[in-house]
Structures are given as C-alpha cells and as structure tokens.
C-alpha cells in the first residue's frame, strides 16, 4: 500500500530562506555614497598624477593642491561650476 505522497507537503506562502536578502543589504550604499560626494578626482596635468581634492568647509567648492608640486586648485560647486566627478587641473 503506497503512502509516500502523504509525506510530501507543499505549503504555498512560506517564505524561502534562500530568497531573502542578507541582513543589512539595503543599507550598504548609504554612508559610502554620501562620503563620495565630499571629494573630486583630479588629474594634475602639471605633474601627470591623480589625486583627490576635498570640499571646502563652506561647501561651495572643492579645493586642494597638487601632491607633487603643491599647485593649488579650486573647483566651484554650483550651476555654472563643475558638474562632473572628474576634474582636470591645468
């Protein structure tokens, strides 16, 4: 007398543990994204090097110096300023 099928339970609506996202997956982007806005990648054409310049304290520009020769640069933030995430210092 075959009774095997009695032991196969198919309950719809039960969440599959494998399908759930890992804990904290939804929050991974937040702080890193905000931090990325505080700097700008710069190509220093004077010395052919790359570095980052950081937002000034008042938040109106990015400012920094060439890591090799110390030449200062300032990139304004605003409608007529830089919009890209990459900046070239001439």
- For Zn ion, the binding residues (CB under 5 A) are 44, 46-47, 66, 68-69, 71
- Find the shortest distance in angstroms from Cβ 87 to Zn ion: 14
Residues 6+ away with beta carbon under 8 Å from 71: 44, 46, 65, 89
In angstroms, rounded to a whole number, what is the distance separating the alpha carbons of residues 39 and 85? 8
In angstroms, rounded to a whole number, what is the distance separating the alpha carbons of residues 72 and 60? 16
Q: Which is nearer to Zn ion, 60 or 74 (CB)?
A: 74
Q: Which is nearer to Zn ion, 3 or 90 (CB)?
A: 90
- Find the shortest distance in angstroms from Cβ 46 to Zn ion: 3
Q: Which is nearer to Zn ion, 68 or 76 (CB)?
A: 68
């Amino acid at each position: 007398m075959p009774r095997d099928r009695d032991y196969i339970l198919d309950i719809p609506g039960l969440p599959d543990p494998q399908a759930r996202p890992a804990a904290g997956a939804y929050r991974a982007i937040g702080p890193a994204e905000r931090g990325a806005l505080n700097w700008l990648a710069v190509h220093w054409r004077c010395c052919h090097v790359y570095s980052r310049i950081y937002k000034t304290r008042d938040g109106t520009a990015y400012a920094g110096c060439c890591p090799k020769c110390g030449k200062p640069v300032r990139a304004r933030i605003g409608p007529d300023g830089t919009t890209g995430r990459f900046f070239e210092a001439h």
